[in-house]
Structure 1
Amino acid sequence: MSTIFKIYKRDIRKITTNIPLMIIIVGLLFVPALYAWINIIASWDPYGNTKGLLVAVVNNDEGAQFQNLEINIGREVIDKLKGNESIGWTFVNEDEAESGVKYGKYYASITIPEDFSSNLLSVAANGEPKKAKLIYSVNEKINAIAPKITKSGLTSLQNEITSSVTEEVSSTVLNYMNAYGIELERIKPQLEELMNIINDIDNNLPQIGEGINNAYNGAVDLNNFIQNIQGNIPNITNSLNNAQNAVQSSNDFFTKANDTIKNISPYVRTDLATVKANSAATRDALSSINNSIDTDVKGQQDILRSASTKMNNALSAVNNDINILQSVNNILHSSAISNFINKMQNIRDQLVQNKLNLDALITTLSNGNKISSDAVESLIQGIDKTSQLIDDSINNFDSAISPAINSLVNNTTNMANNSLTLLESAKNNIPLINSLLKDANIGTDLGAEQIKNIKDKFPKTEETIHSNVEKFKSLSNDEKFNELTGLLQKNTKDVSDFLANPIEPVQNRVFPIPNYGSAMAPFYSTLAIWVGGFTLLSILSVHVEALDDVKNLGTTKMFFGRFLTLATLSLLQAIIIVLGNLFFIKTYSVSPVILLIFSMYVSIIFIMIIYTLVSVFGNVGKALALIIMVLQVSASGGTFPIQLTPKFFQNISPMLPFTYAIGGMREAEGGIIWSSLYYNIGILSIYFFISIIIAVFLKEKMNKKSEKFVNRMRESGLVGE
């Protein structure tokens, strides 16, 4: 060991006392760092400048008509794109777009054809629906990545258009449903008049029955009785005709409204899902605040205000559903619906409390004070409790509320149908009664037997009319009319917005890294450490001169003596690279100390690998080190995921030191999983010991075998010493 350290001390002394050599060494220390810094800065935020990618937009849409409304989806798309800065949207005519894409002025173009709106709205019209087209032209010659980004913009635009069309169509349909509710409210006086007519008919039936009884009991007064009854028959017939027309009109209306009312249950259920999504989003926002409780007060205020808005939306949805369900239950008197309403009220009370606590946090921040972690945690627990209540309500929803609402629709429709059957039956029986009375009037001498025949048939007719009239009377209940109209007149804007955007994605970032440059730092730092080691071995010699006081150095001692010198320089390179990343270009790292230590460890492993190759194989070893570096750039997963590369690179990836060096740096940068870090350290150590074994057992043999070959190369004057 003393000989090894003597070689090391002599190398250090020569470096520190030889000014030209020191200048070169300093350059060698900083060149790899510059390589890493320049590449990291260049890739710091490439997707943050996509507004510089010019995409031409051409709108040829002629619009369309839907339910007497003029709709131009193309114009709406253009208006939205004018406020979108994710890509450099440029609005031109068709000739300019074609020429600009061809000659590289625009990376791509999107053309909205003339029939765009009409095809989108064909789904709501008669006949087969037609898919609308967006004509996308791209110049792939200009750049390899730009077409992918512009195509992503096309996909986002397609989703935006789909959402807009869904919202437009559903809003129109819901407005018609709302109009039905208004119409029902408008015809309420006519329905009440219909009930008065039906009551008159029902009230006249006992009089007719009494007359028949009197005729049966007193044949002498039969003639006067018949005249009295015949005088009432036209009035009864007119009343039945009027009632039949009114019931037919109402029945047509209820038939049209039937499907609309049945859609109430899905709306209530989706409202619950929306409330749960808003609560989950609020909880995630509070969790993110709790992780940075002492920093970014302005960001906390924005997050809390956004959470407050979501909480208000949730409260509005729950209150709306409670009112609807309470109205339905006033008709059905269902204990299951009552229990469900109680649960909804509990959810509302919990949401109100959460809203108050959320507003208290906003007030604290507005007053310039910091919010406490305990207050945030308490609010998170309250939201968790609310989410549990919502889950219980959703699980109970289908069995509790849907059957009751369907029952309301079916009963209402059945009553209208039964009433129509009742009136039709009564109307059909009037000719029979009239005929009997005429016969009695013509032949009052037919006697008590024929009058008894009339008397026996009349109770059945009276029972049929009276039983159905009682069912139809339920339609006159003011409260039931009000509930039906309330269900039909639901807020169309909220429902159409939900149909257009039924899902609100919530992103959960595991080990978040704030920018693309920081994410690429492990790859470029690893590559810079290898380049630094390769540069050292390209300029500095692996040949060790003899020591004055040591007669026989030995191959192994010379190897390790020079290795200490190279390892020291490589460590300095790694330190400069990492410290420059952290403090000069300010890359992100969860554990800067671990990152620095691991990078120094990687530098020792890399310099040992490269030094062994050059020391054992000479210039061939330098070529091998360069080839290995080239393979590692493509097969280490430093840029693209390794799964996206060809099978050859996927197969060699586990055998390359870059794979584990980058993996360990990513742990220290984004968040450490210690088992993964230990694994990377362990695998890298294998390369270190394999390099030592190769050097110890092959260096002397390979140097002797290649001595003549190297001398012949040097004779050419093209190869250095």
Structure 2
Amino acid sequence: MWDPYGELENIPVAVVNEDRSTTYNGTKLDVGKDLTKNLKKSDAMDFEITSKKKAQDGLNTGKYYMTITIPNNFSKNATTLLNKKPKKMELHYKTSAGHNYIASKMTSSAADKAAENVSKEVTHTYSKTMFSSIKQLSNGMSKAAKGSKKLGDGTSQLVSANQQMTTGLDQLASSSLTFEDGANTLNNGLNTYISGVSSASSGSQTLASGLNQLNGNTSSLSSGVNQLADGSSYLATGVQSYTNGVGQINSGANSLSSGSNQLANGANTLASNADTLNSGLGQIYSASNELTQQLKNIGNGNTSSSQLNQVSGSIDSLQGQLDSSTSTQVAAVKEDLATLQQAIDNQGSNQTSGIKDRLAATADQQGLSADQKAAMLAAVDDTSSTTSDNSALKNSAAALSSDLNSLTAAQSGVSSNLSTVVSQLASASEQLTGQIQSASNGMGQLSSRINSLSASSNQLASGANQVSAGTVQLMNNSASLNSGAQQLNSGLTSLNGQVPTLTSGISQLSSGADQLNSGLSELDANGAQLTSGASQLASGASQISSGSQQLQSGSTQMGTGLDQVNDGSTDLTTQLSNGAKKSKVNPTKLTYDQVAQPTSTKHTERDKAPNNGTGMAPYMISVSLFVGALAFNLMFDLYTPRKYPKSGMGWWASKASLKTGFALAESIIVYVLLRLIDGLAPIHPFATLVMIFLTGFTFMEIVSWLNLVIGKVGAFISMILLVLQLGGSAGTYPIQLSDGFFQAINPWLPMTYSVTGLRDTLMTGNSALPEMLVLLIIGLVFMGLTMLFYIRRRSRIKQMDFSEESSEDSSLV
């Protein structure tokens, strides 16, 4: 156990390589193969490259204390460090603690060391790649800094250009509003213009048609102008004759005016009498209706004497009404109707016809044309527009006269037969009522016609007065008319000379009208496209206005952004330049090693413990000394004296010298052998020897006292004490790793102080005096107890027990 860790190279370990090589950034990686080579060359253990089956069988049988398996994805996982989800490189190793627990722990440490070496190699490879990328990054940052400077210059120019563009966009935004308003005005004007073009096109078509007709009739116009020129001379002569006939017309117009006034007065009187007659006929009709109803009742036999008296009274009343009507009103109406018919006939046949005859005679004397004669006669007809109603008026008067005759006859028939034919009264009354109704209706129509006649006669009188006044104006303007006729004749002569020019102009005008019509038609046909284009222009102007406003706003925002970009590009250039300087590296192999293993440990050992034997010596020396005390007490009898002791102290001294001498001898032998054979090098050699002696002395006193006092039971207790001290003295593992029982008894165990004291003298260099003092006190205590045991036993033994023969027997023991 002196230096077992120095012999680890002899522990057999099987290595199984299942790794498959891969490529990383153009470099072939075969980490498994490289690891097996390194393990084969390593002196850490006895690594043997073998198959998986052989390794498993060797681990099962104890031939190998560990098997290391390199999986097939070992190299591939080494390339995933920069991936989003990198995979770890795992070494699979198996140990067999059952065959040797310490060996399993030792080999596990070796596997961890191998994994650490692999990690170092992989990190070394990554560091090369990383520093290569850093070089490229540094060069790229330098180029980026230069490019960023150019970007800054371009951004400055862009800022200046954006300012100009913003100014232009401001003007565009303000102008686009004017443009939009103009486009809308243009659109509205074009709509009005297209509407006008449509109207012009329609008018041009009418104009062209009229001009074509005019052009076609130019020959007729020329001929008519010639005829007009010829007739103008006749017109002048006829006008002279006309002015002469105007005087005669004036005389007839005065007569017409006088007759019209008389007709109006008679019509008014007739209207008044007709209203009175119409009222009387209404009363007669009412009495006739009552009489008829009562006569019907008499004829049915449903009448009494009182009702007959009422019928007789009604008949007398009706007779009175009829007598009154026939005697006064009917006669007056008849007389007025006769006078009315005579006046109508006189007016229609005498006055109007007389005026027409005079005008026709005058026209014939003056040699006027038929159209001129008809125009003059039509003027006379217009002055008596109410004569068209004369026939209706005459028919109404005749019907009224007939009804009045029938009424008179019915009245005579009823009055003559009233006393004899009562049964016929009802029938006659009904006829009478019907005649009265007809007479009343006719009287109503007559009254309406008379009113119309009265109004017409008033208009006729007014027209006659106007005709009379007009003829006076004609007579006054006769001289002007003769002069105008002469001027008309002269103008028509000049017009006749200009007719050829007029004909040529009309032809040109007709041709131009056709061209105008064609152009306007084409313009009208394309008006829809023009209107659509104007609408699109107005819509586009609105979009331009909106877009220009957005451009203006966007340009302002872009200006702000460009200022920020300019500032940012300046900062970027500075930072890239600084970054390029800071990222400039010149890596070497030492740099790669530093990255692969950036940290290391610097171990400073306070105490000197060169090997496992030196560290275990305090514990093993203490154990061996306790075992020596057990062996000594097993071989030597410390109770029986060789001869009868003279005193208890003498008895104790004879036995104490023997065991103390043994303790000193074993201490010297242990110390010398450790130094000569194992090479123990204590820090305090003498103190170490003293500590060993005190340990052996104390353990000898404890074990000898137990054996003396208790006998074999004491020997058994000594063995138990040894076992307790093996676990409770903290000689192998720290006491903190033990359970509570051993931690509780640790301060009360002598071996605790021996182990601690020897560690101080062998390795730590601390003072071991406290531990020596504790051991010395424990040893002296048990020495005193042993002395007391001998003193007390001395009084219990007798001299006779120590004969010469027994002495000799005891000496053999």
Q: TM-score, normalised by structure 2?
A: 0.45
Which whole-Å CA distance do the structure 1 matches of 2:691 and 2:572 have between them? 83
Partner residue in 2 for 1:150: 107
Which whole-Å CA distance do the structure 1 matches of 2:21 and 2:557 have between them? 60
2:648 touches 2:793 (CA, 8 Å); kept in 1?
no
CA positional deviation for 1:81:
2.4
1:642 touches 1:649 (CA, 8 Å); kept in 2?
yes
Secondary structure of 2:621's counterpart equals: helix
Correspondent of 1:573 among 661, 666, 670: 666
The code of the aligned residue for 2:778 comes to: I
Deviates more, 1:190-199 or 1:71-80: 190-199
1:664 touches 1:681 (CA, 8 Å); kept in 2?
no
Deviates more, 1:166-175 or 1:131-140: 166-175
| CA 1:109–1:213: 2 relative to 1, 3 Å | closer
Q: Which deviations, in whole Å up to 9, do the C-alpha atoms of 1:400-456 show, x marking residues without a partner?
A: xxxxxxxxxxxxxxxxxxxxxxxxxxxxxxxxxxxxxxxxxxxxxxxxxxxxx99x9
Correspondent of 1:681 among 759, 768, 773: 773
Partner residue in 1 for 2:696: 603
Partner residue in 2 for 1:696: 788
Which whole-Å CA distance do the structure 2 matches of 1:156 and 1:657 have between them? 40
Q: How does 1:501-650 map to 2 (within 5 A)?
A: 501-544=597-640, 552=646, 554-645=647-738, 647-650=740-743
Which whole-Å CA distance do the structure 2 matches of 1:66 and 1:605 have between them? 70
- 1:135 and 2:228 correspond: no
CA positional deviation for 1:45:
0.9
- 1:71 and 2:163 correspond: no
| CA 1:584–1:209: 2 relative to 1, 3 Å | closer
Which whole-Å CA distance do the structure 2 matches of 1:163 and 1:696 have between them? 71
The code of the aligned residue for 1:183 comes to: G
Secondary structure of 1:90's counterpart equals: strand
CA positional deviation for 1:594:
0.9
The code of the aligned residue for 2:754 comes to: A
| CA 1:574–1:469: 2 relative to 1, 3 Å | closer
2:135 touches 2:584 (CA, 8 Å); kept in 1?
yes
Which whole-Å CA distance do the structure 1 matches of 2:672 and 2:72 have between them? 59
Which whole-Å CA distance do the structure 1 matches of 2:789 and 2:692 have between them? 29
CA positional deviation for 1:466:
7.6
Partner residue in 1 for 2:434: none
Which whole-Å CA distance do the structure 2 matches of 1:672 and 1:164 have between them? 42
Which whole-Å CA distance do the structure 2 matches of 1:472 and 1:623 have between them? 91
Which whole-Å CA distance do the structure 1 matches of 2:112 and 2:683 have between them? 35
1:60 touches 1:111 (CA, 8 Å); kept in 2?
yes
CA positional deviation for 1:669:
0.8
The code of the aligned residue for 1:176 comes to: S
Secondary structure of 1:589's counterpart equals: coil
1:614 touches 1:622 (CA, 8 Å); kept in 2?
yes
CA positional deviation for 1:47:
0.3
1:635 touches 1:653 (CA, 8 Å); kept in 2?
yes
Q: Which deviations, in whole Å up to 9, do the C-alpha atoms of 1:458-481 show, x marking residues without a partner?
A: 996996588457536737968953
Deviates more, 1:692-701 or 1:613-622: 692-701
Partner residue in 1 for 2:51: 93
- 1:474 and 2:564 correspond: no
Which whole-Å CA distance do the structure 1 matches of 2:788 and 2:673 have between them? 36
2:138 touches 2:579 (CA, 8 Å); kept in 1?
no
Which whole-Å CA distance do the structure 2 matches of 1:191 and 1:672 have between them? 68
CA positional deviation for 1:592:
0.5
Q: How does 1:328-339 map to 2 (within 5 A)?
A: none
Q: How does 1:298-447 map to 2 (within 5 A)?
A: none
1:616 touches 1:698 (CA, 8 Å); kept in 2?
no
Secondary structure of 2:583's counterpart equals: helix
2:15 touches 2:68 (CA, 8 Å); kept in 1?
yes
1:174 touches 1:492 (CA, 8 Å); kept in 2?
no
Secondary structure of 1:140's counterpart equals: coil
| CA 1:677–1:503: 2 relative to 1, 3 Å | farther
Which whole-Å CA distance do the structure 2 matches of 1:457 and 1:511 have between them? 81
CA positional deviation for 1:593:
1.2
Q: How does 1:164-175 map to 2 (within 5 A)?
A: 164-169=121-126, 172-173=129-130, 175=132
Correspondent of 2:752 among 639, 659, 664: 659
Secondary structure of 2:101's counterpart equals: coil
CA positional deviation for 1:611:
2.2
CA positional deviation for 1:535:
3.1
CA positional deviation for 1:44:
1.9
Partner residue in 1 for 2:501: none
- 1:47 and 2:5 correspond: yes
Unaligned 5+ segments in structure 1 are 1-42, 216-452, 706-713
| CA 1:684–1:191: 2 relative to 1, 3 Å | same
The code of the aligned residue for 1:589 comes to: P
Which whole-Å CA distance do the structure 1 matches of 2:795 and 2:630 have between them? 20
Secondary structure of 1:55's counterpart equals: strand
Partner residue in 2 for 1:182: 139
Secondary structure of 2:773's counterpart equals: helix
Give the number of aligned pairs. 437
Secondary structure of 1:145's counterpart equals: helix
Give identity over the alignment, percent: 24
The code of the aligned residue for 1:520 comes to: M
Partner residue in 2 for 1:327: none
The code of the aligned residue for 2:725 comes to: Q
Q: How does 1:275-294 map to 2 (within 5 A)?
A: none
Partner residue in 2 for 1:103: 61
Which whole-Å CA distance do the structure 2 matches of 1:573 and 1:68 have between them? 71
1:108 touches 1:138 (CA, 8 Å); kept in 2?
yes
Q: Which deviations, in whole Å up to 9, do the C-alpha atoms of 1:75-96 show, x marking residues without a partner?
A: 3432432343222222222122
Which whole-Å CA distance do the structure 2 matches of 1:649 and 1:112 have between them? 44
Unaligned 5+ segments in structure 2 are 173-548, 798-805
Which whole-Å CA distance do the structure 2 matches of 1:548 and 1:133 have between them? 75
1:661 touches 1:684 (CA, 8 Å); kept in 2?
no
| CA 1:66–1:686: 2 relative to 1, 3 Å | same
CA positional deviation for 1:564:
2.0
Which whole-Å CA distance do the structure 2 matches of 1:481 and 1:121 have between them? 32
Which whole-Å CA distance do the structure 2 matches of 1:682 and 1:690 have between them? 13
1:175 touches 1:492 (CA, 8 Å); kept in 2?
no
The code of the aligned residue for 2:603 comes to: Q
| CA 1:522–1:507: 2 relative to 1, 3 Å | same
CA positional deviation for 1:54:
1.0
Secondary structure of 1:689's counterpart equals: helix
| CA 1:699–1:616: 2 relative to 1, 3 Å | farther
Which whole-Å CA distance do the structure 2 matches of 1:643 and 1:508 have between them? 24
The code of the aligned residue for 1:134 comes to: L
RMSD: 4.9
1:111 touches 1:135 (CA, 8 Å); kept in 2?
yes
Q: Which deviations, in whole Å up to 9, do the C-alpha atoms of 1:618-639 show, x marking residues without a partner?
A: 3443444344334433433323
1:66 touches 1:121 (CA, 8 Å); kept in 2?
yes
Partner residue in 2 for 1:228: none
Which whole-Å CA distance do the structure 1 matches of 2:630 and 2:152 have between them? 100
Secondary structure of 1:137's counterpart equals: strand
The code of the aligned residue for 2:105 comes to: K
